[in-house]
Amino acid sequence: MNDDAAISALSALAHADRLTAFRLLVKAGPKGVASGDIAERLSIPPTRMSFHLATLERAALVRSWRDGRRVLYAASYENMRQLLAFLTADCCSGNPEICGDLIKLAPVCTSDACP
């Protein structure tokens, strides 16, 4: 990943609705979620949700495909991993042990209220 791609991805995530939608899609898995369902779950008007999903897709953080009349969205796990790797590549001047095991810092979400 280069600087421009990282800036695009981070800019796309720098909005509460988009960050929440992205986290919902990460949790949902590769089967994805219909755009209308995302809007409903997040209590966001469908047209506004479409705008936010398009922003995430342009930043290559999500992908979309048609399933009949529905448009499904899923997180792009590979691009998410590339962004995380980019952000931590030079961790503490080449001493990655200082950064620790980042996955242990992530809270485990088990509630239905999780994004």
pLDDT of residue 90: 72
pLDDT in tens, 82-115: 998 888 777 767 666 776 665 555 555 554 444 4
Query: What mean pLDDT do residues 66-85 have?
Result: 94
| pLDDT surpassing 80 at residue 75 | yes
The whole-number pLDDT of residue 22 equals 98
Neighbours of 36 (CB within 10 A): 14
For residue 62 the two structure tokens come to: 């999500």
Q: What is the pLDDT of residues 29-38, one digit of tens each?
A: 999 999 999 9
SS3 59: coil
The full set of domains in the chain, from first to last, is: 3-105 (1.10.10.10)
Q: Residue with structure tokens 């242990």?
A: 104
Q: Cα-Cα-Cα-Cα dihedral of 49, 51, 52, 55, to 10°?
A: 160
Inter-residue contact 57 to 12 (CB < 8 Å): no
SS3 42: helix
The whole-angstrom separation of Cα 21 and Cα 57 is 12
- Interval 42-68: pLDDT, tens: 999 999 999 999 999 999 999 999 999
Q: What pTM did the predictor assign?
A: 0.82
